[in-house]
Structure 1
Amino acid sequence: LLEARFGMGGGELIGRGIVAPGRSAAPLGGSTPFWEMAVGAAEISLDEETGAITVEEYVSVADVGRCINPQQCEGQDEGAVVQGLGHTLLEEMVYERGQLLNGNLIDYRVPRAEDLPGRLRCRFVENADGAGPFGAKGAGEGSLVPVSPAVGNALARLTGVRLRELPLTPERVWRALRSRPRGDQRMSG
């Protein structure tokens, strides 16, 4: 797109801008005047025979502006991570000839207690730069975003396999492991 519009094929994009809340005719008031930035890191183990990934530890760090209620922030963050793990490892709508095959909670897999990481740690950065009371921002939403890249990167570092389709089901992982180049058979215990 950059090349077609501006004649450049790549490189660094530098810009300057401002986000200022304004009035909106949108039913819910338009977009939020703040956003939550978050990062995550995952440690996984892998059953090479089945392709099943287990998230052993996950660490989430979120900028919440001001953590007015730490217990609530932690609950929001944990919920976002679990939702992200569902998206990353389990949740997939399966269709056959245009018909949804798993349109119920028996067949559509969401995380259960046994799917949670062995250790889940949530930490917060407080810059007090949010538009909420005392500089608070939203909590939880941003922490969902880094889960898939964190787990995918952990898988790539462990095995040399980089999958670019979600969810990272055991079957997808197993097939990718079997299609690795012969020279790249890394696994750490």
Structure 2
Amino acid sequence: PSATTIAAQIARVRVDPGTGQVELLEFHQALDVGKAINPMAVEGQMEGGAVQGLAWGLMEEMIYEPASGRNLNPDLLDYRIPTSYDLPMQTSVLVEEPTEHGPYGAKGIGEPPISPGIAVLASAIADATGLRLTRPPFTPERIYQALHGESPEPWSA
């Protein structure tokens, strides 16, 4: 038997049409954690997982040279990860519904907040711009190209 962990997230963004830059204004999440044995640690896991999902949606991408397969962004100078400047304060709500399948009623809480991030950002960007982007990360270059009809990527208005 297993216990399903449910995560809900919502974000509000501002998109600069002149640059394609996305500013993440608000981020809120709720997660069914089972029994929160250590609520502060659970909240930290929720926030860390959400940051990873948001990073995948906005900036993290391995870039390879097609001919050789050589990694073109192998270090932290070229492979961007978010800093505190890139992300707003988060609101996290722990929903406690203990499960009989986990230790002391607890559920896994490290990975579930990662998964919704890309879809949450795609929806927030669609709300802000009318564009439904389908290829993360949603970088300023990709958003600018989509806004100005220059993108070879699939999107819809």
* TM-score, with length taken from structure 2: 0.89
Unaligned runs of 5+ in 1: 1-19, 21-32, 181-185
Q: CA RMSD in A?
A: 1.6
Equivalent residues in 2 for 1:1-189 (5 A)? 20=1, 33-96=2-65, 97=67, 98-117=69-88, 119-129=89-99, 131-179=101-149
Hey, what's the Cα distance between the residues in 1 that align with 2:137 and 2:17?
A: 17
Q: Number of residue pairs matched?
A: 149
Give me the whole-angstrom Cα distance separating, in 2, the residues matched to 1:99 and 1:130: 48
**Contact 1:66 / 1:130 at 8 angstroms: preserved in 2?**
no
Q: Deviations over 1:41-98 (max 9, x none)?
A: 0011111111011111111111111111110011000001111111000111111222
TM-score by structure 1 length? 0.74
Unaligned 5+ segments in structure 2 are 151-156
Residue 10 of structure 2 aligns to a residue in which SS? strand
Distance 1:140 1:64 in 2: 10
Distance 2:100 2:84 in 1: 33
Q: Which residue of 1 aligns with 2:154?
A: none
Any runs of at least 4 consecutive aligned residues in structure 1 with deviations exceeding 6 A, and if so which?
none
- Which structure ranks higher in relative contact order (CA pairs < 8 Å, sequence separation ≥ 6)? 2
Amino acid at match of 1:140: G
Between structure 1 and structure 2, the one with the greater Rg is 1
